Structure 1
Amino acid sequence: MAWSTRQIAELAGTTVNTVRHYHETGLLDEPERRSNGYKEYGVPHLLRLLQIRRLRDLSVPLARIELMGRADEDPVEAFRALDAELASSIERLERARAELALVLRHSAPLDLPPGFSAGARTLSERDRSMIMIYSQIYDESALSDLRQILEETPRTDSDKEFDDLPPDADRATRLRLAQYFAPIIKELQAGYPWLTDPESRSSKSAATLETTMVASLRQLYNPAQRDVMYLADLIVRGKTDERLDGNDEGTEP
């Protein structure tokens, strides 16, 4: 009994294009041709197609199926390696599903790293942007602390005022906000000492951390907001300059 390409594809539960692809990749030997030029497939071709289908159902990549046909490839070891890969994929998918469940539960935006969805609705777009950047420059222990800080630090009207602060906000407003945030920052630094030494929790080099933070602050915050942060830092450190003493000019840190 011999079959045409279409017939053997139907018999094996696949398509003509797939059979041709297996020929091109070397997974399936080319059959002999009849005198009229048509391919003539036999039982060995059918069995090979069924074997390939079985391996594909087990998620074996085509490249590995080709290796399994070689004499130096141990199929048992290959399956063990595949099992480990599948276990890793399942774990990754389970984490993704758990995170997606949080996103759905809290109607959270997707522009946040894993674990930050619970408090996402209270965050401004700027906050979310900074968290995404933090996820690339800080290690997991730092991110865990940041998640805890967000969960334990409720947003206030002053946070909203800071978010909406215009670039030309007057000195009194900037100073008032700095005085409001300074004790909060000081308390956070006492609870999380690494906040005063961010390099100790960075996943990147000191130079990368600094350039990333400087660029992020300059592009995400306007001059008045940066001035508030600068003034608050001066207050926390017990320092002073003319702006704390009454000068009306702001300076970008």
Structure 2
Amino acid sequence: MRSSELAALAGVTVRALRHYHQVGVLDEPPRSANGYRRYDVHHLIRLLRIKRLTALGFPLAALPDLLDQPDAEAVELLDQLDDELAAQIQRLEARRAVVAELRRDRGAPDLPHELARHFAAWADADAPATLARVDREQTILVAHLVGEERLPRLAQLYERMTDPGVMAASRKLYARMDELGPGSDDAEIERLADDLAAMVAPIVAEFQAAGDDDLDLDAVAPLLSAYTGDVLNEAQRRVLARVESRLSAPA
């Protein structure tokens, strides 16, 4: 029979058949005078065994020994396969738990689930769309750079920022920030910087006092500056620079 006939009988694709030849689990038969490979029933039986073993989860690399010495190899390989399947189940259960948490909190799936609730709250608070996007993209960057081990610590800060009182104040400040543009004068920029710093400073101090170690964001600062330099206008960047200066000044 030809390759297409063999593949149809076994319920695989011709491409899979060629792949089995390439990795060495199925021998290639000689070609007939017309150039076609001619398979027989022995090839079909081996192909059915390959299909069964791969369906169970055995990797192709393990098949040659298992196909040629099934009784000698089966017990050890089944033990290994069971361990791997158990590990896969654990990973899937953990992933499903994250999906359930995101669904419950209406969190965005492109954000770390530890922080996604913050942005769901911001969506409910009707934050200005442009600044909400900036906040979201900055958070993606910060979360990646601080690493998974520090995410629970970072989540504490975001949890504090979603306090109803803080949210109400933030919404007003964000609206003022969103209105800044070329016509904004120095006095307006200074007032907004003062108000932002006054809101953020106690939260940062409380956050730092609550932890045994500080969350070091020094490595993040240059990339955040590069990002805000691209997405914020000059007046907005000046406000952020003044807020940073006020927060870093000695008490």
Q: Quick one: distance in 2 between partners of 1:173 and 1:159?
A: 11
Paired residues of 2:189 and 2:238 also in contact (CA < 8 A): no
Aligned positions of 1:128-207 closer than 5 A: 128-153=136-161, 154=163, 155-164=166-175, 165=177, 166=180, 168=184, 169-195=188-214, 198-199=215-216
Quick check: 2:49–2:67 contact (8 Å CA) kept in 1?
A: no
Provide closer, same or farther for how the CA distance between residues 11 and 229 of structure 1 changes in structure 2, counting only shifts above 3 A. same
Letter in 2 for 1:127: D
**TM-aligned CA distance change 1:148 to 1:174, over 3 Å:** closer
1:28 is matched with 26
Q: Distance in 2 between matches of 1:219 and 1:20?
A: 48
Question: How far off is 1:225 after superposition?
Answer: 1.9
- How far apart are residue 75 of structure 1 and its match? 4.9
CA 158–24 in structure 1, closer or farther in 2 if over 3 Å, else same = same
1:65 aligned partner: 63
What is the match of residue 51 of structure 1? 49
The alpha-carbon distance between structure 1 residues 232 and 36, as it changes in their structure 2 partners (threshold 3 A), is closer
> % of aligned pairs identical?
31
1:127 matched to which residue of 2? 135
Q: Residue in 2 aligned with 1:10?
A: 8
Alignment of 1:172-251 (within 5 A): 172-195=191-214, 198-199=215-216, 210-220=218-228, 222-234=237-249, 237-238=250-251
| Aligned amino acid, residue 192 of structure 2 | T
Structure 1 counterpart of 2:92: 93
What secondary structure, in the 3-state scheme, does the structure 2 residue paired with 1:156 have?
Answer: helix
Q: How many Å separate the matches in 2 of 1:58 and 1:213?
A: 49
More helix by share: 2
Aligned length: 222
Structure 2 Cα separation of the partners of residues 36 and 183 of structure 1: 84
Separation (CA, whole Å) in 1 of partners of 2:66 and 2:91: 26
Distance change (3 Å), C-alpha of 1:142 and 1:40:
closer
Unaligned runs of 5+ in 2: 123-131
8 Å contact 2:29–2:38 — kept in the other structure? yes
Alpha-carbon distance, 1:113 to partner: 1.4
Residues 5 and 41 of structure 1 are in contact (CA less than 8 Å); yes or no, is this contact kept in structure 2? yes
How far residue 141 of structure 1 moved from its aligned partner, in angstroms, is: 4.8
TM-aligned CA distance change 1:118 to 1:212, over 3 Å: closer
Return the alpha-carbon distance in structure 2 between the equivalents of residues 22 and 184 of structure 1: 61
Secondary structure in structure 2 of the residue aligned to 1:170: helix
How many Å apart are 1:112 and its aligned residue? 0.9
Is the Cα contact below 8 Å between 2:173 and 2:192 reproduced in 1? no
Give the match's secondary structure for 2:116.
Answer: coil
TM-score between the two structures when normalised by the length of structure 1: 0.71
The answer to whether the 8 A contact 2:196-2:243 is kept is: yes
2:31 & 2:196 partners in 1: Cα distance? Answer: 84
